[in-house]
Amino acid sequence: MIEKRALKKINLSQNKWLIGASEYGFTEKKNRSIFRKISIIPRVLNGISDIKLKKKFFDKEIKIPLIVAPMGGLSQFDKKAELKIASSCKDNQIPYFHSNYSRYSIREIKVKNNNLDFINISLYLDNNLSFIKKKINECNTLGLNTISITVDSPIRSISYDKLNYGYDARTKMRKISKELRSELLREKLGPINWNTIRKIRRLTNKPIILKGILSYKDALIAEDIGVDAIWVSNHGGRSSETDLTSLEVLPRIKSKLKKKTIIICDGGIRTGSDFVKTLSLGADFVAVGRPIVHALISDKNSGLDIYFKLMEEELKTACILSGVDKINNLKNIDLKTHF
């Protein structure tokens, strides 16, 4: 198993950081266990032997409806982590959301990978309009595919599981550019709000995604502002101990949206059957975070390629056994929920 192999290769502090979640970690654990409360009712004798998994993510055709979520602090595991993720995602036609809290800036990613195919930006912002304008202008100039804005982490949460270890991944950042260092060290202002999102909407024609939505009320506000996609997420249980998972709110958010707003969903997704359950409950795309780190640690050279291939095969198998011949028909499969 990729995860078990990866965890054997890192020290205890790194392990705590990777697994770490808000407060006592109940939400993070529930992200995984909630999938055991959803059952797929298999369909048989349908003659299905193959299924095409390709799908359009805005203007890019991608191999499977999988997205790599933004993650910071990865240089503690591999000093070229973001470069390897960007390269593998390009080769496997998987969208990668690059965090602006990474070792490499998005400009460096472009230079070192020749282009930004399948690369998107994920921004952590404060309410500094000049900095926001700078980052949005950079996105426009570089021709990035989409812009994701994280909205569920206006304050750093407490993680009791990590307190005793005094480990801060930010201190493990390898050498970074002067431009990126100045961004990370700059004075932060207050948290962003809905008016900030309205201003950002006026600054760019790029698709805007709000990451960290759990309330359908917030999803509706975002839709009215003109946001192009809703990213249903509890931040891997790292932001708030809500005991609320993405899967529990996903169907309601889907039913409340008035337009054809795209829905991305993450949270504890590990297998092909997890993919099928998430997509069938209303998501258009599924995002993963920790499994990408596990794959990178497990095999720094080909771990990511192996992981993407494995997920493609698992998703194909789960779809066929569910009686689906087209990826867009997953909303029609038979599910039994126990929550």
Asked whether the predicted pLDDT for residue 40 surpasses 80, the reply is yes
Q: Which of 75-89, 166-180, 221-235, 314-328 tops mean pLDDT?
A: 221-235
Structure token digits, residue 337: 């929920």
Q: How far apart are CA 29 and CA 278, in angstroms?
A: 17
Q: Quick one: pLDDT at residue 323?
A: 93
pLDDT at 339 over 70: yes
Task: Quickly count: other Cβ atoms within 10 Å of residue 125's Cβ.
Answer: 21
Question: CA 329, 232, 336: angle at the middle one, nearest 5?
Answer: 50
User: Confidence class of residue 200 from pLDDT cuts 50, 70 and 90?
Assistant: very high
pLDDT at position 157: 82
The Cα–Cα gap between 267 and 246 comes to 6
Residue with tokens 């932060």: 188
- pLDDT-derived band of residue 58, with 50, 70 and 90 as boundaries? very high
Provide mean pLDDT across the span 234-239: 92
Query: What does the mean pLDDT of the chain come to?
Result: 91
Q: Please give the share of the chain, as a percent, with pLDDT higher than 70.
A: 93
Ranked by mean pLDDT, which of 13-22, 120-129, 181-190 comes out on top?
120-129
Whether 169 has a pLDDT exceeding 70, the answer reads: no
Q: How many helices (H) and strands (E) does the chain have?
A: 14, 12
Give the three-class secondary structure for 191. Answer: strand
pLDDT at 2: 86
Q: Which of 3-12, 59-68, 123-132 has the lowest mean pLDDT?
A: 3-12
Region 295-314: what's the mean pLDDT? 94
Each residue's pLDDT tens digit, 96-113: 999 988 888 888 888 888
Provide the pLDDT for residue 102: 86
Q: What is the pLDDT of residue 301?
A: 83
Q: What is the pLDDT of residue 292?
A: 97
Give the Cα separation of 126 and 191 in Å (integer): 5
Which residue do the tokens 């790599």 mark? Answer: 68
Q: Is 215 helix (H, G, I), strand (E, B) or coil?
A: coil
Structure tokens at 85: 């993720």
Q: Give the confidence band of 172 by pLDDT, cuts at 50, 70, 90.
A: low
Question: Which string of b and e fits 178-209 if b means at least 16 CB within 10 Å?
Answer: eebeebeeeeeeeebeeebbeebeebeebbbb
- Full set of structural domains in the chain with CATH: 2-337 (3.20.20.70)
pTM above 0.85, yes or no: yes
Across the range 279-289, mean pLDDT stands at 97
97 in helix, strand or coil? strand
